[in-house]
Amino acid sequence: MAGTDRPTTQAEPSAPTPRYEIDSYARSIRSRVVEVADDREWVILEDTVLYPEGGGQPSDHGSLAGIPVSELTRTQVGVRHSLSRPLPPDADDQVEVTVDWPRRFDHMQQHTAQHLLTAVAQGRLGRPTTSFHLGSSVSDIELDGPALTGRDLAQLEDEVNQAVREARAVNVHRISREDYDDRSDIRTRGLPDHHLGEVRLIEIEGLDLTACGGTHVASTAELEGVKLLGTEKMRGGARLYWAAGSRMRRRLGDHETRVEALRSALGVPTDELVETACQRLEQLKEVQREVRILEEELADALVSAFRLDPGRLVSQHFERRGAAFLKTLASRFADGVAGKVGFFTASAGGTAAFVVVTGAGSGFSAAELGAGVASALDARGGGRDPVFQGKAPDLDGRDAAWALLDRTLGT
């Protein structure tokens, strides 16, 4: 779900400040059970390390008393933990709640990278962020204004990574609603009207100050790096994709594995991969064109031979040919073989196809004959006169289908 880069600070003053806001690095705590309901399938604790979705950051994964937590919801008295199975009746008053730390730390990296990107885009390009989405492999922000140029992207990426190298502290402050309303140095405005308590501010030292309730790293150095992955124009703005931190390194690793597989498959060095792949695709298209021409020539030659066939029912099986060839053959047959019925089958690469076609003046309906053949082959098919075609799991019923046609035609 896309967030709107609006503050997600604890909106209800009655709920105590949760641990994930005080210490984003807390992986596990013991906390008192405050409320249990719905056959013990959800629990509210006095405190929690699990972040419930908000501001573009997804809910954490984690466990409560060893039970996986399936959903987290903000309520007036605290975070409601929906459990994947009921809390046992003999559970202690104090239970342990634990966050899936690798996933959470990844979210902290992406979320802090978003603050940094948003601050630089605003400061250098004058482009406010209108939305933030933290995806499972790629994250994006939407920037107000026209499409981003290659130069914009290069400048943004350079400046953001400069700030990573500077290892700027990321600090958390809490101020009163009155102080918040008086200050003009806070980037994100638009606090919800119902917000009554303190406002949580996230500061990237010397760069940015914004109201936010999410989880963040303590220094920009922990971002490791930020790589912009692309941009697309959208109504009223531009979407910008990026990856930061360990997922950026994993992504690079995955790319290297794929490039190695392509080098091995195509037998060329990395810088020749694209050109070689394009050449091979062109060659493939050319070969496919040649095959089509040869199949048309083959169909013409076959039709000439079928005209001389003494029987009314003409039948043949083709190995290493597919439905496309049968279609070509049927079309030539319908136009060129008067008074006869054709029944053709083909198989290639574990798939089988068939076609029933009637020549002009045969006195039979391909649709009716074809339905019988499909039944005999235990296959599916369709079509309108003069051609009925279909695909079959195998051609075990071919002789039975032929016998059926032979009887029907009375040959």
For Zn ion, the closer CB: 212 or 355: 212
Q: Which of 146, 151, 122 is nearest to 234 (CA)?
A: 146
For Zn ion, the closer CB: 214 or 370: 214
Q: Which of 308, 299, 146, 160 is nearest to 227 (CA)?
A: 160
For Zn ion, the closer CB: 120 or 212: 212
* DSSP designation for 250: H
CA 277 – CA 36 distance, rounded (Å): 60
For Zn ion, the closer CB: 44 or 209: 209
For residues 265 to 294, the per-residue mask of contacts with Zn ion, x marking binding by CB under 5 A and - elsewhere, is ------------------------------
For residues 177 to 216, the per-residue mask of contacts with Zn ion, x marking binding by CB under 5 A and - elsewhere, is -----------------------------------x-x--
CA 82 – CA 85 distance, rounded (Å): 9
For Zn ion, the closer CB: 214 or 342: 214
Minimum CB–partner distance for residue 44 and Zn ion (Å) = 24
For Zn ion, the closer CB: 45 or 186: 186
Contacts of Zn ion in 213-232 (CB under 5 A):
214
Minimum CB–partner distance for residue 129 and Zn ion (Å) = 11
For Zn ion, the closer CB: 18 or 386: 18
Minimum CB–partner distance for residue 115 and Zn ion (Å) = 5
CA 107 – CA 60 distance, rounded (Å): 9
For Zn ion, the closer CB: 52 or 214: 214
Minimum CB–partner distance for residue 100 and Zn ion (Å) = 19
Minimum CB–partner distance for residue 351 and Zn ion (Å) = 53
Minimum CB–partner distance for residue 54 and Zn ion (Å) = 10
- Parallel/antiparallel/unpaired status of strands 94-99 and 237-244: unpaired
CA 374 – CA 107 distance, rounded (Å): 56
For Zn ion, the closer CB: 24 or 358: 24
Say if CB 342 and CB 356 are below 8 A apart.
yes
Minimum CB–partner distance for residue 74 and Zn ion (Å) = 16
Q: Which of 28, 31, 33, 52 is nearest to 43 (CA)?
A: 33
CA dihedral 331→332→334→338, nearest 10 degrees, is: 180
* Alpha-carbon dihedral sign for residues 59, 7, 25, 50: negative
Minimum CB–partner distance for residue 222 and Zn ion (Å) = 14
E-assigned strands of 118-236?
129-133, 139-144, 170-175, 199-204, 208-211, 226-234
Which tokens is 247 given?
Answer: 């997922």
* DSSP designation for 199: E
Say if CB 313 and CB 341 are below 8 A apart.
yes
Minimum CB–partner distance for residue 3 and Zn ion (Å) = 9
* Alpha-carbon dihedral sign for residues 278, 281, 285, 286: positive
The terminus-to-terminus CA distance of the chain in angstroms comes to 68
For Zn ion, the closer CB: 63 or 188: 188
Residue nearest Zn ion, CB atom distance: 212
Q: H or E stretch including 167?
A: none
Minimum CB–partner distance for residue 87 and Zn ion (Å) = 31
Contacts of Zn ion in 34-73 (CB under 5 A):
none
Q: 216 CB contacts (<8 Å, ≥6 apart)? A: 24, 108, 111, 112, 115, 170, 172, 202
Judged by CB under 5 A, how many residues of this single chain contact Zn ion?
2
Question: Site residues (CB under 5 A) for Zn ion?
Answer: 212, 214
